[in-house]
């Protein structure tokens, strides 16, 4: 029997989907979350839950020793680019300093495998697209810089084998409708915001239409959250089977403009959006698409869900959460 897996931030959007994917195949999951960005009701059924901060070394020590943790999936972190520009200290405190305490504690207690939730934001405005794992890291916002520093911190802890997963734009929810994300009054994610505008018949504003792209709007690579959870499971298997530290891009390898996302939402929702264009959002690169050939080749991973699937699953979840809020 494999020992329990510690999932930090497991009450959050991506962490909860990873926890469900692990439990579906019989793994025992321990979730550590301070609930600052989530609610207790979002904790997947069947997981052991500990409330607290990754920056509390005594608590982390207790969790690891009590449950015999050998493998960690680290999702706990703040993720909003715009907020990181407004309040960088908040991001460096949690995403870097608290992570340092957590990772060093894990290493000192003999944790073998550490899977880190990184981001395509580490690339900034890439010199080429699609961007590969060995390309230059040049974050252009505080959030991305915290992820660069997080990766560097892990490189200084050689006793653990690491899986660094750089996410591109994550969307969608559990296809079975069991979990999703917290209902927000003003969501910032592109698809989420678009869906809310569709449901509420509100004006939807695209940030910037003067980028050097095929229709002037930003291009992003979208990955379904359940596909991303599967990438984590495959990375865990790779490390358990003796794999060495490796970095993987997690994306579809195909980019969609903001206008193409709008059209997809309109198609799935069977309704037109009231659309307007606003100024560029600070810290946004024009195009960000993954070269995901490494994870496909080395881990045998491939996305199973399309952009339409992401929108369909997310639309169903938003309607459900708005009805039950």
CA distance 149 to 135: 16
**CB of 54 within 8 A of CB of 8?**
yes
Which is nearest to 253 in space by CA: 308, 306, 313? Answer: 306
3-state DSSP call for residue 272?
coil
- Which CB contacts under 8 angstroms, 24+ apart, belong to 216-219? 217/257, 217/258, 217/259, 218/257, 218/258, 218/284, 218/285, 218/286, 218/287, 219/255, 219/256, 219/257, 219/286, 219/287, 219/288, 219/289
Q: List Cα–Cα distances, 248 to 2, 86, 215, in angstroms.
A: 24, 29, 29
Crossing angle of helices 190-200 and 307-324, in 10° steps, is 50
Strands 161-167 and 246-250 come out as parallel
143 is catalytic: yes
Catalytic position from the list 13, 91, 123, 143: 143
Burial of 244-253, coded b for 16+ CB within 10 Å and e otherwise, reads ebbbbbbbbb
Contact partners, residue 38, CB within 8 Å, separation at least 6 = 9, 11, 12, 16, 182
**CB of 63 within 8 A of CB of 50?**
yes
What does the angle CA 77 – CA 228 – CA 155 come to, to the nearest 5 degrees?
55
Active-site residue list: 143
């Amino acid at each position: 029997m494999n020992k329990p897996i510690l999932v930090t931030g497991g009450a959050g959007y991506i962490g909860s989907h990873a926890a469900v994917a692990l439990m579906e195949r019989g793994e025992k999951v321990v979730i550590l979350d301070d609930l600052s960005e989530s609610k207790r009701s979002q904790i997947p059924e069947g997981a052991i839950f500990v409330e607290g901060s990754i920056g509390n070394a005594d608590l982390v020590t207790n969790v690891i020793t009590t449950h015999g943790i050998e493998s960690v999936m680290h999702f706990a972190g703040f993720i909003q680019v715009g907020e990181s520009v407004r309040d960088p200290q908040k991001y460096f405190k949690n995403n870097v300093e608290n992570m340092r305490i957590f990772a060093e504690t894990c290493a000192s207690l003999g944790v073998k495998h550490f899977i880190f939730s990184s981001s395509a934001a580490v690339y900034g405005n890439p010199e080429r697209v699609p961007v590969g794992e060995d390309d230059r890291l040049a974050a252009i916002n505080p959030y991305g810089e915290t992820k660069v520093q997080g990766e560097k911190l892990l490189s200084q802890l050689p006793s653990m084998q690491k899986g660094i997963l750089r996410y591109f734009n994550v969307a969608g929810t559990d296809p079975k409708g069991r979990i999703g994300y917290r209902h927000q009054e003003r969501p910032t994610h592109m698809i989420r915001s678009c869906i809310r505008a569709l449901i509420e018949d509100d004006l939807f504003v695209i940030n910037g239409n003067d980028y050097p792209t095929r229709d002037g709007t930003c291009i992003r690579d979208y990955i379904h959250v359940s596909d991303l959870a599967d990438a984590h499971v495959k990375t865990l298997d790779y490390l358990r089977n003796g794999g060495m530290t490796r970095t993987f891009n997690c994306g579809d390898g195909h980019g969609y403009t903001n206008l193409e996302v709008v059209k997809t939402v309109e198609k799935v929702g069977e309704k037109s959006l009231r659309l307007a264009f606003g100024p560029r959002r600070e810290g946004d690169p024009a195009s960000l698409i993954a070269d995901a050939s490494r994870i496909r080749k080395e881990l045998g991973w491939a996305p199973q869900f399309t952009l339409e699937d992401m929108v369909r699953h997310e639309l169903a979840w938003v309607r459900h959460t708005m009805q039950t809020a």
